[in-house]
Structure 1
Amino acid sequence: MPKLLKLILFLTIGGLVAFFVARWLVQRASPLPENLGINNGRLTPCPDSPNCVSTQATDDGHSIPPIRYVGETAVAHQRLLSILQADAQFTIISQTPIYIHAEAQTAVWRFIDDVEFFFDEADSLIHFRSASRLGYGDGGTNRQRMEAIRTAFLNE
């Protein structure tokens, strides 16, 4: 086998091993945050980094409108839960009648983002927050994800 072919084969195998080791390390470095959930009718605020969106944020970089629903909260909850369960990127971590916490996993690097939904029964709104566990920026991934969920919910 020529030296160049051996070198290419070695680099390809080495690159694949490095890729999978890096993915494994990313998963191990992403523990579940302790500050998730509802506190006094509010989800945890977004950090200063741009890798989070929330319907309860007041600044333009993090703010996103909530989803308005009509009818019973239980029906809206089930509709949203069905959307999440139909999408392979989501794993449901916990839920109550007015709250859902899911993990979303990115396709290539398998970064884990926390996605939370709070059903505000008094105003018939679904407040949500989507935040990356690691890194600083997200290239708009969290905002795009939540807009896709909104579209699916409103079109169902």
Structure 2
Amino acid sequence: MKIVVLIIAALLILGVGFFVVLSIKSRTGTALGLVDGMLAPCPASPNCVLSEAHSDDDHRIEPLPLSVWAKLPDILSKEGGVVVKITDDYIASEFSTSLMKYVDDVEFRKAEDVVHVRSASRVGHSDLGANRERIDALRTKLGQ
């Protein structure tokens, strides 16, 4: 019986350790930025949404209207994000989960007629829809 308890305890410690390492790893990266003038493609994993034309159906999300561009930094901050970079046509922000502090990158690219958006987890496979929900919430806050 003691051996079973020890094995279970060891597995729990390893499991928690794995998630702690992922959390630390997510805090060491940065947003991918623009790639050939566009937001980076989403990985195959379901933890990313993207409005650019090169997005596949599983990751696609609608872009934002151009009229929201000037409001984005303020709204991102109010919603718990940290704006880490702003240029004339690009905004990068970071959002952290409350418990484990996993970081998601939320990026925007100002195009001629819309604002393209990419929201992606830095680590892990699934985000349980958190990135899509975040963009939908931002869209609501922006009145769109």
Unaligned runs of 5+ in 2: 1-11
1:27 paired with 2:23, answer yes
Q: 1:82 aligns with which of 61, 64, 74?
A: 74
Q: CA deviation at 1:77?
A: 3.0
Q: 1:130 aligns with which of 112, 119, 125?
A: 119
Which residue is equivalent to 2:46?
Answer: 50
Find the structure with the greater CA-based Rg: 1
Q: 1:40 aligns with which of 16, 36, 41?
A: 36
Q: CA deviation at 1:26?
A: 3.3
Q: Return structure 1 stretches of 4+ with deviation > 2 angstroms.
A: 21-27
**Paired-residue identity, %:** 36
Could you tell me whether the CA contact under 8 Å between 1:115 and 1:128 is conserved in 2? Answer: yes
Q: CA-to-partner distance for each residue in 1:100-152, whole Å, 9 max, x for gaps?
A: 111110122211111100111x21x1101011111111100000001111111
What's the TM-score, normalizing by structure 1? Answer: 0.73
Structure 2 counterpart of 1:49, one-letter code: S
SS for the counterpart of 1:154 is coil
Equivalent-residue separation in structure 1 for 2:21 and 2:35 (angstroms): 32
Which residue is equivalent to 1:153?
Answer: 142
Determine which structure has greater relative contact order: mean sequence separation of CA pairs < 8 Å that are 6+ residues apart, divided by chain length. 2
What's the TM-score, normalizing by structure 2? Answer: 0.79
SS for the counterpart of 1:129 is strand
Equivalent-residue separation in structure 2 for 1:44 and 1:134 (angstroms): 16
Q: How many residues align?
A: 130
Which residue is equivalent to 2:66?
Answer: 69
CA RMSD of aligned residues (A): 2.4
1:103 paired with 2:94, answer yes
Structure 2 counterpart of 1:80, one-letter code: L
